[in-house]
Amino acid sequence: MLAFHVAFLALLVGTEAFFTWLAALNVRHGAAAVTREAEWFDDRLDVDDTDELLGYQRATTGAAQLESWVGLGLVLLVLYSGLLADAVAAVESLGFGTVPSGVVFFLGAVAVLQVSSLPFDCFDTFVVEEIFGFNEASPKLWVRDKVVGLAVALAFTAVIGAAVMWVVAAFPALWWVGAWALFVAFSLAMMVIYPRVIAPLFNDFEPVEEGELRDAVTDVFDRAGFECSQIYVMDASRRSGHSNAYFVGFGATKRVVLFDTLVEQMETEELQGVLAHELAHWKKAHIWKRVGASAVQMGIVLFVAYQLVTGPWLYEMFGLATGAGKPLYAGLLLAGLVLQPLTRLTSPIENRLSLAHEREADAFAVEVMGDGEPMVDALTRLASENLSNPFPHPLYETFHYTHPPIPERVREIRRRAGETAASDGDTTDASAG
């Protein structure tokens, strides 16, 4: 049993240490890049003080690492102090049966996780984001968001937890297949539920009415051969100065959402370039490909979880019952703790698909706009406004980046634009001849 404990601790602590080392490496690399790429920064980024950019990178990295290590410490404390065994014993004493007991256990775990994260969220919002001028949320709004977020999390946990535990109880030899089917169905449902039910609990979404913005959006849609009447501006500025845009949904439920900060910060052509990029994810079927990739990944994860939960050693490690009376819900939690670092270590595999999609979306934006500069200007403006360091360490990039670094994207966009211009020129010459 000692060997299992050593392997378990090595996996959790070793993985966390590796990613902390990567984060520190990335911060040092970014500081060196500011000096090494000074000409690029001066030419492309509208950042008056690069020390502020580096300070933001150090602050956000440090806060994230502190939260990760404290969280890991709390998890190990719960496991090795016997608190997990006590919690399981308390749930079992209720005599509810497999499904209700699992739901109660999961609800308690989610509540503990949400509450334990509050100090870190508060520090991130009212210290780090406040210092660097991004925070716009009032304490009252922050508290409201946390209360609503907890209520939503508990509601979904109850429904999903009950469904999973029912599948586990009804199909003990094939529950991972049933859980996989639930995951796929839930992923598809969330593409409709999130924008229409959950997101409006936190933000207001105003339809883009007739005017310059609507005309600009419609122009891009027409050029891209895309139809979507649901275009909204979200009041992101109530909480943060960060800006973004996203496309969500499918069929009649699809919609485009622009942060009001994005609309305020960008010129019309830059905004059109961002929209063209987002539309590519639908035109090129990236959304469905990612759903498929996630389904494959989750199938593998659930199969491995099934193998872990079936054996006795995971329960024995932490003083839980084995055999016919073993608490499967606790086994699922422990299996998740084992699988979480493994998914982090294999993230480069998943990232490769996302990187390919982002490059394809940039190329589509160049094709739609007929020029690469609107997209280039949009990317560099986003980096400037969000104080992003565009030069990550290559190894950090491998494990964390789902989008290519901005300098790489700028080079590729300009290369694509040059090829498009040359192609158009060749077509013109041929027509003239």
User: Taking the CA of residue 160 as centre, how many other CA atoms within 13 Å lie in the half-sphere pointing to its CB?
Assistant: 20
278 is catalytic: yes
E-strand ranges in 271-429 read none
Residue 49 annotated among the catalytic residues of the structure: no
Amino acid at 30: G
CA distances from 294 to 29, 97, 343, 376 (A): 32, 32, 12, 30
Determine if residue 279 is left, alpha or beta; phi over 0 gives left, psi from -120 to 50 gives alpha, anything else beta. Answer: alpha
First to last CA, the chain: 81
Residue-wise DSSP of 74-98: HHHHHHHTTHHHHHHHHHHTT---H
Marked catalytic residue, from 278, 358, 385, 397: 278
* CB-based contacts of 341, cutoff 8 Å, min separation 6: 11, 12, 15, 16
Listing from the earlier edge strand, what are the strands of the sheet with 245-248?
A: 205-207, 231-234, 255-259, 245-248
C-alpha to C-alpha distance for 6 and 27, rounded to whole angstroms: 31
Please tell me which residue in 124, 270, 362, 397 is annotated as part of the active site.
Answer: 362
Active centre residues (catalytic): 278, 362
